Amino acid sequence: MKKHLAMTALALAVGFSYAGGAYALDQAFDFNAAPFGGKLVKDAKAIDFSYQAEVDFNGPKFDLSGVAFFGTFRKDLSSPPIPGTGLGEKYGLYAEFVATGTRTNIAPGVNEAAFSDLTFKLRIDPNLDTGSNTFTPGVAGGNETHFASGDTSDDITLFTGKLIAGQAHHFNTLDRGSFDLLLDAQNVDRAVLQGLGFTPTYPQVRFTGVNTFLEGVIDPPGTVTDLDLRGSGNLTVVPEPGIPLLLGGGLLALIGIRKLRSM
């Protein structure tokens, strides 16, 4: 009996440590685009995007605004795109985001940023007539923002994201960097977002990416207006928060059993 308990706890503890692996436990979800002339995509694990944003650095603080356009669904990050979904042909899908945070210089040309606030909307563009505005990098043209443009009046919000935590990094080659944002998905349109991943009341979504274009970064404290930032990434759904907590409980149980044995 005691041995059985210990083995169960061990299995749960292993599960918990595995959860720390990148994307090890991404949750499958369904995306029903049938109302927009697309297909019902079953068991997707990621949606790929490319994005453009503008960033303002003001000493240690930053703010940014951007738009990401999604192109393909994947069953996992190493497999080819799911064909024939209608995304980009029958309907468009984009995210609009505005964020603020603080950055820290950890070495010359190497900075880490922590997000403190974020407004995020995932939206369907049924008629493929939404784009994004152009801005002039730098102080020319004033301090601008980057946002969805064209006809956005017909677009439908699928969820609004509330920031749980987020970090970004950039390196001294200036065109390298990455970001990782964890969001609570609220006001979820469950006619479109379905499946296991969107079962929880507040599903958690990861918005992660790499930069492919970024120049003119200066170390804090420094001021930059409308830095042009572009790149690509994936939107994934993480398992419901109860699962890691449960597995974490398994780890604690294992520690408890070890303590009992050492007594």
**Interface with Ca ion: number of residues (CB under 5 A):** 13
Q: Which of 46, 226, 227, 238 binds Ca ion (CB under 5 A)?
A: 226
Tokens 């152009």, located at residue: 134
CB atoms within 10 A of CB 221: 12
Nearer to Ca ion, 74 or 103 (CB): 103
Interaction between residue 26 and Ca ion (CB under 5 A): no
Nearer to Ca ion, 220 or 241 (CB): 220
Nearer to Ca ion, 9 or 67 (CB): 67
Residue 127 CA: distances (Å) to CA of 38, 67, 92, 200: 12, 17, 7, 30
Nearer to Ca ion, 26 or 226 (CB): 226
**What is the b/e burial string over 230-259, where b = at least 16 CB atoms within 10 angstroms of the residue's CB?**
ebebbbbbbbbeebbeebeebbebbeebee
Interaction between residue 96 and Ca ion (CB under 5 A): no
Interaction between residue 56 and Ca ion (CB under 5 A): yes
Shortest Cβ 142–Ca ion spacing (Å): 6
Nearer to Ca ion, 111 or 130 (CB): 130
Binding mask 121-160 for Ca ion (x = CB under 5 A): ----x---xx-----x----x-xx------x--xx-----
**What is the b/e burial string over 128-150, where b = at least 16 CB atoms within 10 angstroms of the residue's CB?**
eebbbeebebeeeeeebebbbee
Residues in the chain: 263
194: left (phi over 0), alpha (psi -120 to 50) or beta: beta
Interaction between residue 223 and Ca ion (CB under 5 A): no
Q: Which stretch binds Ca ion (CB under 5 A): 10-18, 55-63, 99-107, 198-206?
A: 55-63
Shortest Cβ 252–Ca ion spacing (Å): 46
Sheet containing 29-32: give its strands across.
40-44, 29-32, 193-194
Strand partners, 184: 162, 204
* Binding residues vs Ca ion (CB under 5 A): 54, 56, 125, 129-130, 136, 141, 143-144, 151, 154-155, 226
